[in-house]
A and B are shown apart, each in its own frame.
Chain A
Amino acid sequence: MKEHSIVRDLLTLAAAGMLDPAQQVRVEMHLRHCEACRSEFNDWAGLAGALRRLPTPQAPARLALQTQRLLAQVAISRANQASRLGLACLVAFSWIATFLTVGFVRRFDVPLAQWLDISSTTLWAVYIGATWLTTALAAGLLGKRWRQEGRTI
């Protein structure tokens, strides 16, 4: 009787195919000689079969395409964010590079200005301009490359 009630509780999962092999064997053995449980199992198996045959709602045809477009937009937006971050880093780097090399230029600014035959102020302006221009050029090339990568998405 105890076995009967134990197996009866397992019938739902047996019909769902969710029992481990040992439990499955136990249920099958019991069903061989218990008509009540066999009938009950058939009911559960019928329910499980009906659930497996439920009609599948089809996703609207446009959904996959819309999702792919959305994902592409998200990817581009993320690449742009990365691009802006990269630009900010390069600006910071140009400032740092300028300040770090100030001492070196200051040491040689007078002889260098004389050698180039320009004033010391002009030398400084050229130096800062060249540093920033180089950095901006690097940023531009990097941004262009990222945009190209974004387009291939």
Chain B
Amino acid sequence: MSRSEDVLGLPMTFESEAARLRSGDMEIIGRLVERYQHRLYRYLLRLVSRPSTAEDLFQQTWVRAMERIRYYDPRRSFEGWLFAVAHNLAIDHLRRRQPESLDEPLPSGETRSELTRSANPGALELLLSKEREGIVLGAVSELPVAFREVITLRFEEEMKLEEIASVLSLPMGTVKTRLHRAMKALRVILERKQDIREMP
């Protein structure tokens, strides 16, 4: 008998698990809420930055997931499907609240794409060796949403290229390009922060 991915951490047959999920079985959905609470919340928090908004979107994600559970294709990863639901809700929310583009000027006057161009290797290693997570986190929060999202999906959620592409509904090549640009932009921000810290 075929087996699906281990959605609940329990070995379940493909047929029974898919049937229970698609029939809107509250017990299985309740357990999934618990299982994914921290990861989904973290993902949403990285996107919207505000804890109260992340909580609202967390709840909306599960309501939407439950509404659409019958359309969930069990051949797909449940995690990828869930994060795609969350992604769509978060992006809708951000579009309503703050339409943002890559070339929108930052408070510093630079555009985000300008940030991605400069580089100053060397300072970064020093900075990272001190494990200043707060600084890295602050730098991540300065990135545009699209960059923040791909960073969190790759490094925090540890999703594979195919999964990220599925969540974002983007071709894999675009995901790679976006991640490349996101890392470069992040490095520039970190180096700028380091320069500021080193100023007399």
B136 at the interface (CB under 8 A from A): yes
Among B51, B122, B156, contact of A51 (Cβ-Cβ < 8 Å): B156
Q: How far is the CA of A12 from the CA of B177 in the complex (A)?
A: 10
B38 at the interface (CB under 8 A from A): yes
Interfacial chain B residues near A153, Cβ < 8 Å: 26
B85 at the interface (CB under 8 A from A): no
For residue A53, which residue of chain B has the nearest CB?
B133
Interfacial chain A residues near B155, Cβ < 8 Å: 16, 48, 51-52, 54
Q: Is the interface of A mostly helix, strand, loop or mixed?
A: helix
Are A55 and B133 CB-contacts (below 8 A) given A18-B154, A71-B29, A71-B66?
yes
Interfacial chain B residues near A13, Cβ < 8 Å: 176, 179-180
A75 at the interface (CB under 8 A from B): yes
Contact B59 A49 (CB under 8 A): no
Q: Could you give, for residues 102-142 of chain B, a 1 whenever the CB lies within 8 Å of some chain A CB and a 0 otherwise?
A: 00000000000000000001101100110101001100100
B63 at the interface (CB under 8 A from A): yes
A43 at the interface (CB under 8 A from B): yes
B62 at the interface (CB under 8 A from A): yes
Q: Could you give, for residues 117-132 of chain A, a 1 whenever the CB lies within 8 Å of some chain B CB and a 0 otherwise?
A: 0000000000000000
B45 at the interface (CB under 8 A from A): yes
B41 at the interface (CB under 8 A from A): yes
Q: Number of A-B pairs whose CB atoms are under 8 Å?
A: 116
Q: How far is the CA of A16 from the CA of B186 in the complex (A)?
A: 13
Contact B124 A43 (CB under 8 A): yes
Are A74 and B66 CB-contacts (below 8 A) given A16-B183, A66-B59?
yes
Q: How far is the CA of A57 from the CA of B24 in the complex (A)?
A: 29
Q: List A55-73 residues whose CB lies under 8 Å from chain B.
A: 55-60, 63-64, 66-68, 70-72
Q: Which of A15, A60, A63 has the most B CB atoms < 10 Å from its CB?
A: A63
Contact B140 A54 (CB under 8 A): yes
Q: How far is the CA of A9 from the CA of B121 in the complex (A)?
A: 14
Interfacial chain B residues near A54, Cβ < 8 Å: 133, 136-137, 140, 155-156
A54-B137, A57-B41, A153-B26 provided; 8 other pairs, C-beta below 8 A?
Answer: A46-B124, A48-B155, A51-B156, A54-B155, A71-B26, A71-B33, A71-B66, A75-B66
10 pairs from A and B in contact (CB 8 Å cutoff): A44-B183, A44-B187, A46-B129, A48-B183, A51-B151, A54-B137, A64-B33, A68-B30, A72-B26, A74-B63
Closest 8 CB pairs of A and B: A59-B41, A51-B155, A46-B128, A59-B37, A12-B183, A64-B37, A153-B26, A12-B180
